[in-house]
Structure 1
Amino acid sequence: MRESTIVIHERDNVTIALRDLTPGESIIIEGEEIIVQQAVRAGHKLARKPIPLNENVVKYGYPIGKASSPIEIGEWVHTHNVETNLSGTLDYEYQPTTDKVTSQGQSERTFQGYVRKNGEVGIRNEIWIINTVGCINKTAEVVAKMANEQHKDEQIDGVFHFSHLFGCSQLGDDLHNTQKLLSSLVHHPNAAGVLVMGLGCENNYIAEFKKVIGDFDEDRVKFISVQETTDEIEHSLDLIDELADYARSFKRETLPVSKLKVGLKCGGSDGFSGITGNPLLGAFSDKLIQQGGATVLTEVPEMFGAETILMSRARDDETFHKIVDLVNDFKEYFLRHDQNVYENPSPGNKQGGITTLEEKSLGNVQKGGFGEVVDVLPYGERMASEGLNLLQGPGNDLVSTTALAAAGAHLVLFTTGRGTPFGGPVPTVKISTNSALAEKKKNWIDFNAGALVEGKSKEELTDEFFDYIVELASGSKQTNNEKFGFKEISIFKDGVIL
């Protein structure tokens, strides 16, 4: 018989409902009978012990807040009787742990990928149009549509453009962020060829943007300034013809999985995210890192309250201080704008059973498994180290997924308990945290982690998931965002617009 609730850690004073519970019903939790006091939806918390006023509410073995009123056994535990313990920036001490996963050397496991001329590896053979400014979004869209009709075939996986709002009327860090983000996309190895399309009068005009791009292969990257040509569509299509010929020179070949770089992301989380989806990603990340691969975790505001777990796994003292700066700098960003650092989780998260930011963060960091943190990347920068990387970026789904792709992730693993159709510029794997969502949204969800609370072991599901990702990387499978053309980007903005 399926259990009604699950206790995640022996220290927890709450249990998680695996189904909707009704008032007055009797449930057995670790041999003890408990009477449910209020209706508790699946994914929400129920007190398994009395929790006095101001005493910590414990889940995952860690405090997720404190009781704002006394909580009795069998009561629903949520925002009406729990509040955060968090406030402001903090001082930290490096307390390294030996309980972390590192590379065990290159494994014999392989996938089929593309080796680019500079030695980097891609998992798709696409042509990307990167526009320097939002004014020409529609021009890029028209060119991509026409070029896709001509060139998508067995050798080219498609021609894609990525609309955005920026590249002009920006100052300082905002303009720099836009340039760095777009530059990193230009260098992404999933793109066999890139057409950089500029308007001509924007802040991020082509000559200036080239300085940020740095070295590039002239066969792989072409440029057009549409104000300087009579027929920008015809000219663009001619340039894409050249890029298509170049792209067809690449063939898939057998490569070790150590070449894979994978982004880790959650969005629309629910009470199951920290039980199913995120632990599955953590197990995958550990397995890939052990075989010499790299993963990258972002959503810095959703590390608040769980940051010390990541800090304890820092490779060295220098990396530890980078994590401290990453966390406190993002808190300062909130404070500069007179915002509550801990105004989180979202309404959808709360409906799904997440009560405080600590609870959300403790679930979020599980996506990084037990990996040693090897580097901390500024927004728009690219990964250079195998192992677990941290990346500066907000929790926003669109912005953070884009940042993960720009960091060099070949694909992004995206857990969700509520569901979303969004996909970034790279394959975006949607992993449902519960089976009901997987059944309801078959055109969104690619893999169901809900099986973890339905009898399937974590080891068995991790092996299935790893096999699926290898097939996906090899091109024998597509994500739903690829099938339906859901490929978008969004760029972080902090300052004024002129």
Structure 2
Amino acid sequence: MKTKYLKINKADNVAVAIVALKAGETISVDGIDIRLNEDIPAGHKFALKDFEQGEDVIKYGYPIGHTCKAQKQGDWMNECNIKTNLSGLLEYTYNPIDASLDIPQQGLTFKGYRRKNGDVGIRNEIWIVPTVGCVNGIAGQLAESLRQETGCRGVDAIVAYPHNYGCSQLGDDHENTKKILRDIVLHANAGGVLVVGLGCENNQPDVFREFLGQYDEDRVKFMVVQKVGDEYEEGMKLLRELYSRASQDERTDIPLSELRVGLKCGGSDGFSGITANPLLGLFSDFLVAQGGTSVLTEVPEMFGAETILMNRCRTKELFEQTVKLINDFKEYFLSHGEPVGENPSPGNKAGGISTLEDKALGCTQKCGKSYVEGVLPYGERLKVKGLNLLSAPGNDLVAATALASCGCHMVLFTTGRGTPFGTYVPTVKISTNTDLAERKPQWIDFNAGVIVEDEPIEETCRRFIDFIIKVASGEFVNNEKKGYKEIAIFKTGVTL
């Protein structure tokens, strides 16, 4: 362990404890001896100066809120004495910065599946996708039967993706359901998809089929259960056809420029913005420099750090789209009578995150320093390479599903508290601290905690690049090994 604390930016007036510190201990910061007035848990902040009431607390070089009352040098700075500066809608000015990258091309490849339409997948799975929740049971039964019959030989997995929607929805909710289900059906990680409809739902199977646009009819089959005799026998017949084709697919060399990754964090702690999120930022910049694509979402967790992203927009048009991305989500909060700063969660606070700005300034580090090249509405699919911003809430499963649905091959998920879940693409868990990685090896795939111990972040990133190429080439991560695969669709309106 190199140090007991970290002052992240020279402008900061708080530092972060890397290990638990005891009251009465003296810490030397910038040549000044600071006596701690109380115990400081690992990942939490302590004051580097005396604060007056209402004075801004600076971390990462930016305000993360203001003091609720006067504080002394050496005090524990947490959610009890720091209050957010966030309020309602803001007006923004475009102040573009140079976000050019000086990272050489390395000509790296991974082993993936080249589909008929030219797209690429990193998995070759059979999926059963219900158009409506009424047929969830049938979809699950079919998946289980095909797994038992085939043992998944020749494919990576056979999975049904139940959900609650597809009927009794109006407006945006109905469109969101259609878009996410379309995105799943067309995803290149699937070698074959059986779409199972009921027949009387709002999400009519024939209309949904047209909504898909062009698709490989050899790889996507439809069954409407009200129109067949024995839905089980018919479903198994169609699945056997899909399985017969998919099980013959083979991996080939694919340029890393075709890899698309989603960037997500959940169960964050005070180390998220110091270890795992900066690691993802380095990786994102590296991937973009190779011609690949990364996608950042969780719009409410950009509040307080949004100007950093806005000023990295490649064009004024992208800046304006990002302003709309932010303000639309703020209006969503306000229309429900909720404050825009109602975050972080109890687990975040226990881990050392005090305000939404504190969380956002750590969260946005996942996307590195490259230009923003695209801004996507919820449910839409990627159109440009490079760093993209995607509209979706912070909820882990909703956001991860949205990332997969825009076309990401995998989701890179940093966590300081831990979580086992996975969405319908590989969901790679990166721990912010070594303790979590050691306690939950069945959840965590890669430990970034070493960054505050004995390994330079550049070396950690080199290992991470090698690891991600292995995952893209077929190495399973923990959510796949455990079979933890789910979807969740964003809902904003009424249910009939």
Q: SS of 2:23's equivalent?
A: coil
**Partners in 1 of 2:262 and 2:193 — Cα distance?**
22
Residues 70-469 of structure 1: pairs in structure 2 closer than 5 A: 70-101=70-101, 107-469=106-468
User: Are the counterparts in 2 of residues 103 and 292 from structure 1 also a CA contact under 8 Å?
Assistant: no
> 2:490 — aligned with what?
492
Deviation at 1:24, TM superposition (A): 1.2
Q: How many residues align?
A: 496
Find the residue that maps to 1:374 and give its secondary structure.
strand
Shift in Å, 1:30:
3.1
Relative to structure 1, the CA distance from residue 153 to residue 169 in structure 2 (aligned partners, 3 Å threshold; closer, same or farther) is closer
> Would you say 1:5 and 2:5 are equivalent positions?
yes
Q: Name whichever of 95-104 and 449-458 sits farther off.
A: 95-104
CA–CA distance in 2 between the matches of 1:152 and 1:311?
49
AA partner of residue 425 (structure 1) = Y
Distance 1:158 1:483 in 2: 10
- Counterparts of 2:248 and 2:442 in 1: how far apart (Å)? 33
| C-alpha contact (below 8 Å) 1:107/1:292 kept by paired residues | no
Instruction: Name the SS for the 2:320 alignment partner.
Output: helix
Q: Deviations over 1:166-217 (max 9, x none)?
A: 1110001100000001101111000011100111111012012113211111
AA at the equivalent of 2:368: G
Distance 1:107 1:168 in 2: 49
Could you report, residue by residue, the CA deviation over 1:352-381 in whole angstroms, capped at 9, with x for unpaired residues?
Answer: 110010110000100000121011111111
Offset at residue 28 of structure 1 (A): 2.3
Name the Cα RMSD after superposition.
1.2
1:343 deviates by 0.5
Q: Which amino acid aligns with 2:318?
A: T
Contact 1:34/1:73, CA 8 A, preserved across alignment: yes
1: distance between equivalents of 2:14 and 2:153?
Answer: 53
What's the counterpart of residue 67 of structure 1? Answer: 67
Counterpart CA distance in 1 for 2:11 and 2:148 is 58
Which residue in the other structure is 1:481 paired with? 479
Q: Which amino acid aligns with 1:54?
A: G
Q: Report Cα offsets for 1:108-163 as digits up to 9, x if no partner.
A: 11110000000000000101111111111121111111112233445211111111
Shift, 1:235, TM fit = 1.0
Moved more, 203-212 or 282-291: 203-212
Residue pair 1:152, 1:158 contacting (<8 A) in 2 also: no
Structure-2 separation of matches of 1:149 and 1:31: 66
- One-letter amino acid of the structure 1 residue matched with residue 88 of structure 2: G
Aligned-partner residue type, residue 5 of structure 1: Y
Contact 1:170 1:203 in 2 (8 A): yes
Q: How far apart, CA to CA, are the structure 2 residues paired with 1:37 and 1:205?
A: 64
Moved more, 27-36 or 89-98: 27-36
TM-score computed with the length of structure 1 as normaliser: 0.98
Identity of aligned residues (%): 55
Q: How many angstroms does 1:102 deviate by?
A: 8.3
1:424/1:102 CA distance change after superposition, 3 Å: farther
SS in 2 for 1:69: coil
Tell me the distance in 2 between the aligned counterparts of 1:497 and 1:102: 51
Deviation at 1:101, TM superposition (A): 3.5
- Tell me, yes or no, if the aligned pair for 1:107 and 1:256 is still in contact at 8 Å: no
TM-score by length of 2: 0.98
CA separation of 1:315/1:196 partners in 2, compared to 1, >3 Å: closer, same or farther? same
> For 1:102 and 1:252, how far apart are their aligned partners in 2?
32
- State the partner residue of 1:38: 38
Residues 216-252 of structure 1 show CA distances to partners (whole Å, capped at 9, x for unaligned) of: 1110100001122221111111101111122133210
What CA distance in whole angstroms lies between the structure 2 residues aligned with 1:108 and 1:437? 34
Say whether the 8 Å CA contact 2:103–2:286 is kept in structure 1: no
Deviation at 1:493, TM superposition (A): 0.2
Compared with structure 1, are the counterparts of its residues 153 and 166 closer, same or farther at alpha carbon in structure 2 (3 Å cutoff)?
closer
Distance in 2 (CA, whole Å) between partners of 1:13 and 1:70 is 14
Could you tell which deviates more after superposition, 387-396 or 376-385? 376-385
Check the 8 A contact 1:151/1:158 in 2, yes or no: no
Q: List per-residue Cα deviations over 1:401-438 (Å, max 9, x = no partner).
A: 00000010000000000000110100000000000000
Does the 8 Å CA contact 1:268/1:417 hold for their aligned counterparts?
Answer: yes
Q: How big is each residue's C-alpha offset from its partner over 1:35-64, in whole Å with a ceiling of 9 and x where there is no partner? A: 111121111100112222211100001110
1:14 matched to which residue of 2? 14
Equivalent residue of 1:471, what SS?
Answer: helix
Q: Distance in 1 between matches of 2:328 and 2:149?
A: 47
- Using the alignment, how far apart are the partners of 1:355 and 1:100 within structure 2? 33
**What is the rounded CA distance, in whole Å, between the counterparts of 1:103 and 1:37 in structure 2?**
45
Query: 1:263, 1:295 within 8 Å by CA — same for their partners in 2?
Result: yes
1:31 deviation in Å?
3.0
Native 8 Å contact 1:297 1:388 kept in 2:
yes
Distance 1:79 1:387 in 2: 36
**Amino acid across the alignment from 2:397:** L
The residue type equivalent to 2:199 in the other structure is: G
How many Å apart are 1:103 and its aligned residue?
8.5
Partners of 2:152 and 2:158 within 8 A in 1: no
Matched residues in 2 for 1:103 and 1:491: separation? 37
Q: CA deviation at 1:17?
A: 0.7
SS of match in other structure, 1:482 = helix
What is the one-letter code of the residue matched to 1:90?
L
Stretch of structure 1 that moved more, 63-72 or 151-160:
151-160
Amino acid at match of 1:80: C
CA distance in 2, matches of 1:288, 1:15: 31
Q: Tell me whether 426-435 or 30-39 shows the greater mean CA deviation.
A: 30-39
On the 8 A contact 1:263/1:412 being kept in 2, the answer is: yes
On the 8 A contact 1:49/1:72 being kept in 2, the answer is yes
What are the ranges of 5 or more consecutive residues in structure 1 without an aligned counterpart? none
